[in-house]
Amino acid sequence: MTEPTPTPSALLERTGTLAILRPSQHVRGLVPTAPPPEGALDLFLFLDDAGAVMAFNGHVDLGTGIRTALAQIVAEELDLPLAAVTMVLGHTGGTPNQGATIASDSIQVSAIPLRRAAAQARHHLVALAAAALGVPADELIVSDGVVHPRASGSNAGISYATLLAGRQDRLMLEDSVTLKPAGDYRIVGQRVPRVDIPAKATGAFVYVHDVRVPGMLHGRVVRPPYAGVDAGDFIGHSLIKVDEASVAHIPGLVAVVTMGDFIGVVAEREEQAAEAARCLKVEWKAPPPLPELKDLAQALRANPSTTRVLADQGDADAARAAAAIPMDRTYVWPYQMHGSIGPSCAVADVRDGQATIWSGTQNPFPLRLDISILLGIEEADIEILRFEAAGCYGRNCADDVAADAALLSRAVGRPVRVQLTREQEHAWEPKGAAQLMEVKGGLNADGTPAAYDFATSYPSNAATTLALLLTGRVPANNPVFEMGDRTAIPPYAYDNLRVKAHDMAPIVRAAWLRGVSALPNSFAHESYIDELAAAAGVDPVEYRLRYLHDPRAVDLVKEVAARASWEHHTAPRQEVVDGDVVRGQGFAYALYVHSKFPGYGAAWSAWVADVEVNKRTGDVAVKRVVVGQDSGLMINPAGIEHQIHGNVIQATSRALKEEVSFSETAVADKEWGAYPILTFPEVPVINVVLMPRPDDPPLGSGESASVPSAAAIANAIFDATGVRLREPPFTPERVRAALGNPLPPEPPAPPAKKRPWFALAGAALAGALGMAAVALPIRGAIAPITRPDPASFSADMIARGRQLAALGDCAVCHTVPGGTVNAGGRALETPYGTVYSTNLTPDPETGIGRWSYAAFERAMREGISRDGRHLYPAFPYTSFTRTSDTDLQALYAFLMSQAPVVAPTPEAKMAFPFNIRPLMAGWNTLFLRPGQMQADPARSPQWNRGAYLVESLGHCGACHTPRNLLGAEKTGAAYLAGGMVDGWEAPALTALSKAPIPWTEAELFSYLRTGFSRFHGTAAGPMAPVVEELAALPDADIRAMATYLASFSGPVPADPVAQAAALQAEATASLRPLDSLGGRLYEGACAACHAESGPTLFGVRPALALNTNVHAARPDNLIRVILDGIPKPAARDLGDMPGFRDSFDDGQVAALVRYLRAKFAPNAPAWSGVDEAVALARANPGSH
Amino acid sequence: MSLPEHAAPVSFEVNGVAHSLDLPRETRLIYVLRNDLQLNGPKFGCGLGECGACTVLVDGVAARACVLTLKSVEGRKVTTLEGLGTLDLPHPVQAAFITAQAAQCGYCLNGMIMTAAAFLSRHPAPTLDEAREALRYNLCRCGTHVEILRAVMLAAQAMGAGSTAAGAATTLEGADHD
Ligand code: FES
Ligand code: FES
């Protein structure tokens, strides 16, 4: 099912049709669009002789069911079945320009002409029937689109379709049309299932994300570092350079497009575009600092503003001065996100001065204007095809991405689909603005309010479409919008009232979010009246009713209080539920007033929230919300009820959990861990109270129910605890602080660690090595041979050699990622510089094709190349030297029988003095102990077999044994005691292991065989390919390796299963998902796959409480797994772990790492140097 | 890495149809399903395994296709929302979501339905709290949670789990309208 896109001109050419038209209107909204051409007509309604009925509306369905509600209205007036009506919404080429879809206006404003059009069409069709049937019109009735005489028993009817045969009726929409009386409604007011849900539930629905057009390419954008900031001279002027060579290797890349600060990449396939965007090296100027946004009240006070007085009656100053109890209060609202579940997406086809844009925009006509400015083409040459997208609640990045796609399409001359990343949507969506509400007032001695002097500061803006700013087409000059005034006038009759709006420029990119400024303003109004009631010793509902004079409001307040079993109280009750948990009930009411001041009301809404607060932990649970709404005539009560549920849940989420955090220069929250939203277990029970008002006009119900939310919850927390919270979100930290009960803060980061050992190595080297080197001759070359015929080796020998190559991990180092196996060229970073692995294929010039067995054996046993040059001990010949002759011969046979590949090896880039290869001779004298491995007769054959595999080709010690200052493996007790490789820690395999449950033979076998041990975790980093290679070895060999390695372990645990369960239970009980940044990140980003109680998902579920990396002496491995995930798991049963390099900043990674350590390794000391280790790991991604 | 990355096409089954695709094994499954197989059910929500919008079933187990690589599904059976049921023949979980009108924008719906289907196949008669826990790591921003939970309990009932589920569903309705 795709959105229908009939063009009006094509429809109007047809005969057998009826159309209702209206002259196109010039919409001057917040963003005025171009005037329509002279004489242009908008099509509102279209019927044809085949029974089609199409209704057109310029607004869009944001997932709120507008499509269904409008169809109900049309079907009602036309006396048609609901299913007969098709709604066409929000296409610039086909629907009327009715401005932006904002403020839940669609039902209140845009439905009116549609309803009239339908009624007018019905009158016209009935008149036609009257003529055809020879019956007066007032004796005809219509049922299901068939007109027939009222007289009972008569079956002489004629359908709309039949009536239209051969006609081409074009009617102009009349201003006054007789509408159907509400009492006759059969469809409007019914609980009607939404028309879109079956397709959405089966994957048949086409969202904008699902649009595919022929020849389409895929694009991604790369955004500047000033994430979420859209005003200032630096916007559009911060790019220093783009290194296109950094993505040259990516297959399928079509273009890198740069204009000002706009950067995009286009590729044939989506993952190629994503990879190019990830890899593209871009240099930016450092963005300027943001104001300190941790103290929002101060930041808003300091932001320059102009003041509008919205109301001034009585004498607020004098009354405030005379108050018996002065009560000045400050309420603060945080920046919040729209947080659409799907990051925005669009497809654009820009060619030959014409543009077609498939978009999820909320505002098709304003977007068309933006695209016109951006591309410099006429609005008339641009068509916006509107498709549904993920729910938006105001303004997300839908317009931004449409403009991005337009730029990229124009650059490559083909259609381009651009999908924003989660990180980009989070960082760049225009935020719901922060807001400051300050009240000066107080209570008179008789308990009446003395004065209400209210000032609101709201830094919102138009959130100009990003590409216009990034390319410099439009200056980033912070237009100030007058939008802080929504519901700024309190609903209560205060005798001495003054209301001021401080209009101000945005601080960060912001736009309207559900409830706009009305939600924060009502938070202040409704908290304040609660404070007055408490100070006066009066029940909060009773106190409100004294000053609330709007009769519909009064009805609603009383009804909701009654339905919630409101418990009359004159002071906070602090009722204990159990132990530290107390319970409370809170009330709030609001009429959402929107549009330009003074605006008009949408639906009336009232809340009773029941909360439970844990006074020790600060946890707040909203247990139940009774929410009432008066939205006049309800077109589709089921739809309204669902909307109310949605508003309650989203608003509860905002009140309890949500607050955007900022780095010094940008938005910091880039995924759902840093910016959490309400989850299923946290959802309250919701009881909806709908006020029946069938005779009053329908009112928008898109957002009204969210407006009383935060105040009702704050008032309930006050009832439960006696403590007043004036700044959401009501997180445990805030609640504890308000209760004077802060838990000890997380331990501070200890001082930086000492210099790494390898930094000292260079100093010691020149002397020691140089001395040894002079004692040894430079070795000679071994004569080249002609490549031996592979047929001279037995198949069996080659097969054995192949296994041995896997054991030796030859291909791991001797293959570049994605390249030909064993052709070499992989860069290996060592503390002494970069070496490149050599070509192990039998190519005569660049590989080992001319190597005799003797030359091969010398390389394996002594680290000397055929030509006599010394190899660096990054090649683990000190282990390989122990291989048996027969195994070396088999390995040689295998290597020589591979297909030769021409691949020269790049020169090593070693630091002095390591760049002098002959010095390696000295190194060998000191550290090489050549010769085959000898069995230990005191041990079992299995142990000896394992020892041989581990110590020779397996070369486990190369990583797992610490090295001395000269980079040689230490010996004795240090053997297998843990080392570092490529930035990863290879943990100790001996009793020095930090694993909470010691390794056993069984777990070693499981780990080496499958890549996973339930008691230790998953093979990651350099170990993942090792396990993958070991798949070539038989179980018996893996078992032998496990036997040998287990002989180094500590004592075998008595009951590891019980021990593991206890460790996990202890950790799980200590988790605090909302309490700290680390806690939030774990819950949002890690827990789905790692929490013990998480959903069953494909792959393994590594228990962090048992994980070796969490218990390690250093945080490096944990940091690296968080940054880069496990890109190539060792086996296909494990599942995959994503990396968070582009999702978390360094501070977030460090916070997460500290949290994981504290919670999952509670008995281990806190790590020192976490911040430095994170920075180091980010700067040196390594090759794993 | 015993074989070159591109050596052999990756074979797996999607909604009962065998596919063999010549793509790198580290390609994320979601791109292959959506772009190569044109299956719109799985949605891109975060790419990080956080939100569940991309959920598919792999051998009957819920899996997050934005994170899963082709390598992980090699030789396995993948089911998407389209494969679960169709407009004409919806799976009981899909039918329950339609009955309960459990969508606003519906972008999260794929994840909710696939996760619920996998969950109910293992726990045919969950309590309401178990259903909440099962969906804990599936995010919905529209606030459709109430209808979604109702749908899951309805589905449990329809799938013939007997009295426990029916009782639990009644509890939700009762709680919601008391
Ligand atoms: S898109 Fe896969 S979990 Fe969010
Ligand atoms: S219905 Fe919109 S995100 Fe769930």
- Interval A847-888: pLDDT, tens: 999 999 999 999 999 888 998 888 877 788 989 999 999 999
- pLDDT tens profile A480-534: 889 999 999 999 999 999 999 999 999 999 999 999 999 999 999 999 999 999 9
- Residue whose CA is closest, atom 3 of ligand 2? B140
**Nearest atom in ligand 1 to B50's CA:** 3
Contact state of A687 with B118 under an 8 Å Cβ cutoff: no
pLDDT beyond 60 at A767: no
Are B115 and B164 part of one and the same domain? yes
Of the candidate ranges A56-70, A176-190, A443-457, A990-1004, the one whose mean pLDDT is the lowest: A56-70
Are B119 and B164 part of one and the same domain? yes
Taking the centre of ligand 2 as the mean of its atom positions, its distance from the CA of residue A677, in whole angstroms, is 13
In chain B, the largest separation of any two C-alpha atoms, in whole Å, equals 64
Q: Residue B74 belongs to what domain range?
A: 10-84
pTM: 0.91
For residue B118, count other CB atoms closer than 10 A to its CB: 25
Task: Please give the average per-residue pLDDT across A402-420, as a whole number.
Answer: 98
pLDDT beyond 70 at A673: yes
| pLDDT given for residue A169 in this prediction | 96
Q: Which residue has the higher pLDDT, A797 or A927?
A: A797
Using CA atoms, how far residue B43 sits from A95, A389, A612, A669, A738, in Å, is 28, 11, 36, 22, 42
Are B97 and B60 part of one and the same domain? no
| pLDDT given for residue A752 in this prediction | 42
pLDDT beyond 80 at B169: no
| pLDDT given for residue A744 in this prediction | 54
Of the candidate ranges A22-31, A432-441, A615-624, the one whose mean pLDDT is the lowest: A22-31
Question: Is residue B178 situated within a structural domain?
Answer: no
Which phi and psi (to 5°) does residue A513 adopt? -125, 145
In short, whether A491's Cβ falls inside 6 Å of ligand 2 is no
Mutate to test the interface with A, among B26, B30, B50, B87 (most CBs of A within 10 A): B50
Taking the centre of ligand 2 as the mean of its atom positions, its distance from the CA of residue A626, in whole angstroms, is 22
The CA distance from A57 to B131, in Å, is 39
Are B59 and B128 part of one and the same domain? no
pLDDT beyond 50 at A332: yes
Percent of chain A clearing pLDDT 90 (strictly above)? 76
Question: Is residue B143 situated within a structural domain?
Answer: yes
Q: Which of residues 143-162 of B touch A (CB under 8 A)?
A: 143-149
Are B69 and B140 part of one and the same domain? no
Cβ–Cβ under 8 Å, residues A236 and A226: no
Cβ–Cβ under 8 Å, residues A645 and A688: yes
Confidence of residue A607 (pLDDT cuts 50, 70, 90): very high
Residues of A in contact with B66 (CB under 8 A): 1138
Contact state of B1 with A202 under an 8 Å Cβ cutoff: no
| pLDDT given for residue B7 in this prediction | 64
Are B97 and B166 part of one and the same domain? yes
| pLDDT given for residue A167 in this prediction | 95
DSSP 3-state percent helix, strand, coil across chain B (nearest 5): 40, 15, 45
Last residue of a domain, one of B52, B84, B116: B84
Q: Where are the alpha helices (DSSP H) in A1031-1140?
A: 1035-1046, 1056-1070, 1077-1081, 1087-1090, 1108-1111, 1116-1124
Starting from the CA of residue A338, give the closest ligand: 2
Taking the centre of ligand 2 as the mean of its atom positions, its distance from the CA of residue A650, in whole angstroms, is 11
Chain A residue with the nearest C-alpha to that of B103: A197
Question: Is residue B99 situated within a structural domain?
Answer: yes
| pLDDT given for residue A817 in this prediction | 78
List the strands of the sheet with A217-222, edge to edge: A253-259, A262-267, A217-222, A416-419, A345-351, A354-359, A382-386
| pLDDT given for residue A569 in this prediction | 97
pLDDT beyond 80 at A440: yes
> What is the tally of structural domains in chain B?
2
Question: Is residue B132 situated within a structural domain?
Answer: yes
Question: Is residue B3 situated within a structural domain?
Answer: no
Chain B residue with the nearest C-alpha to that of A422: B46
Contact state of B122 with A393 under an 8 Å Cβ cutoff: no
Confidence of residue A971 (pLDDT cuts 50, 70, 90): confident
| pLDDT given for residue B173 in this prediction | 40
Last residue of a domain, one of B63, B84, B105: B84
Taking the centre of ligand 1 as the mean of its atom positions, its distance from the CA of residue A339, in whole angstroms, is 14
The CA distance from A578 to A37, in Å, is 70
Three-state helix/strand/coil letters over A242-258: EEHHHHCCCCCEEEEEE
Which phi and psi (to 5°) does residue A48 adopt? -130, 175
Confidence of residue A925 (pLDDT cuts 50, 70, 90): confident
Confidence of residue A769 (pLDDT cuts 50, 70, 90): very low
- pLDDT tens profile A726-748: 999 999 999 999 999 876 544 44
Contact state of A391 with B105 under an 8 Å Cβ cutoff: yes
The CA distance from A58 to A40, in Å, is 15
Are B102 and B68 part of one and the same domain? no
Q: Which of A210, A677, A1095 sits opposite B40 (nearest CB)?
A: A210
Task: Give the minimum alpha-carbon distance from A331 to chain B in angstroms, rounded to a whole number.
Answer: 26
Taking the centre of ligand 1 as the mean of its atom positions, its distance from the CA of residue B29, in whole angstroms, is 11
Percent of chain A clearing pLDDT 70 (strictly above)? 93
Whichever domain contains B157, its CATH number is: 1.10.150.120
User: According to the per-residue pLDDT averaged within each range, which of A43-47, A327-331, A830-834 is highest?
Assistant: A327-331
Cβ–Cβ under 8 Å, residues A963 and A868: no
Task: Please give the average per-residue pLDDT across A1120-1132, as a whole number.
Answer: 93
- pLDDT tens profile A197-206: 999 999 999 9
Task: Please give the average per-residue pLDDT across A923-928, as a whole number.
Answer: 77
In short, whether B105's Cβ falls inside 6 Å of ligand 2 is yes
pLDDT beyond 70 at A765: no
Task: Please give the average per-residue pLDDT across A531-551, as a whole number.
Answer: 98
The CA distance from A847 to B44, in Å, is 45
Last residue of a domain, one of B57, B84, B111: B84
| pLDDT given for residue A780 in this prediction | 84
| pLDDT given for residue A107 in this prediction | 65
- pLDDT tens profile A421-430: 999 999 999 9
- What single-letter amino acid sits at A922? G
Task: Please give the average per-residue pLDDT across B4-10, as a whole number.
Answer: 68
Of the candidate ranges A4-18, A999-1013, A1074-1088, B6-20, the one whose mean pLDDT is the lowest: A4-18
- pLDDT tens profile A256-283: 999 999 999 999 999 999 999 999 999 9
Q: Which of A196, A342, A1140 sits opposite B43 (nearest CB)?
A: A342
Q: Which residue has the higher pLDDT, A966 or A667?
A: A667
Are B97 and B70 part of one and the same domain? no
Q: Which residue has the higher pLDDT, A68 or A828?
A: A68
pLDDT beyond 90 at A95: no
Question: Is residue B5 situated within a structural domain?
Answer: no
pLDDT beyond 90 at A684: yes
Residues of A in contact with B105 (CB under 8 A): 62-63, 341, 388-392
Whichever domain contains B66, its CATH number is: 3.10.20.30
For residue B117, count other CB atoms closer than 10 A to its CB: 24
Are B39 and B76 part of one and the same domain? yes
Contact state of A1097 with B101 under an 8 Å Cβ cutoff: no
| pLDDT given for residue A778 in this prediction | 59
Mutate to test the interface with B, among A1098, A1121, A1148 (most CBs of B within 10 A): A1098
Task: Please give the average per-residue pLDDT across A942-949, as a whole number.
Answer: 96
Q: Which of A197, A203, A341 sits opposite B98 (nearest CB)?
A: A197
Contact state of A201 with B59 under an 8 Å Cβ cutoff: no
Ligand 2 pocket check: which of A341, A649, A678 to mutate, most ligand atoms within 8 Å of Cβ?
A341
Chain A residue with the nearest C-alpha to that of B85: A202
Task: Give the minimum alpha-carbon distance from B58 to chain A in angstroms, rounded to a whole number.
Answer: 7
| pLDDT given for residue B142 in this prediction | 96
Are B75 and B111 part of one and the same domain? no
- pLDDT tens profile B101-156: 999 999 999 999 999 999 999 999 999 999 999 999 999 999 999 999 999 999 99
| pLDDT given for residue A150 in this prediction | 87
| pLDDT given for residue A30 in this prediction | 53
In short, whether B140's Cβ falls inside 6 Å of ligand 2 is yes
- pLDDT tens profile A358-388: 999 988 889 999 999 999 999 999 999 999 9
Q: Which residue has the higher pLDDT, B176 or A1085?
A: A1085
Are B69 and B109 part of one and the same domain? no
Residues of A in contact with B14 (CB under 8 A): none
Task: Please give the average per-residue pLDDT across A223-239, as a whole number.
Answer: 96
Return the exposure string of A438-477: e unless at least 16 CB atoms fall within 10 Å of the residue's CB, then b.
Answer: bbbbbbbeebebbbbbbbbbbbbbbbbbbbbbbbebbebe
| pLDDT given for residue A439 in this prediction | 98
- Residue whose CA is closest, atom 1 of ligand 1? B45
| pLDDT given for residue A980 in this prediction | 87
The CA distance from A516 to A593, in Å, is 10
Task: Please give the average per-residue pLDDT across A289-294, as a whole number.
Answer: 95
Are B140 and B156 part of one and the same domain? yes
Ligand 2 pocket check: which of B110, B142, B150 to mutate, most ligand atoms within 8 Å of Cβ?
B142
Mean pLDDT, chain A, as a whole number? 91
pLDDT beyond 70 at B30: yes
Question: Is residue B147 situated within a structural domain?
Answer: yes
Residues in contact with ligand 1 (CB, 6 Å cut-off):
B 44-47, 49-54, 64, 66
| pLDDT given for residue A5 in this prediction | 60
Question: Is residue B125 situated within a structural domain?
Answer: yes
Q: Which residue has the higher pLDDT, A1081 or A755?
A: A1081
In short, whether A341's Cβ falls inside 6 Å of ligand 2 is yes
In short, whether B96's Cβ falls inside 6 Å of ligand 2 is no
Percent of chain B clearing pLDDT 90 (strictly above)? 85
Task: Give the minimum alpha-carbon distance from A99 to chain B in angstroms, rounded to a whole number.
Answer: 21
DSSP state of A548: -
Q: Which of residues 24-43 of B touch A (CB under 8 A)?
A: 24, 26-28, 31, 34-35, 38-41, 43
The CA distance from A1053 to A1056, in Å, is 6
| pLDDT given for residue A61 in this prediction | 66
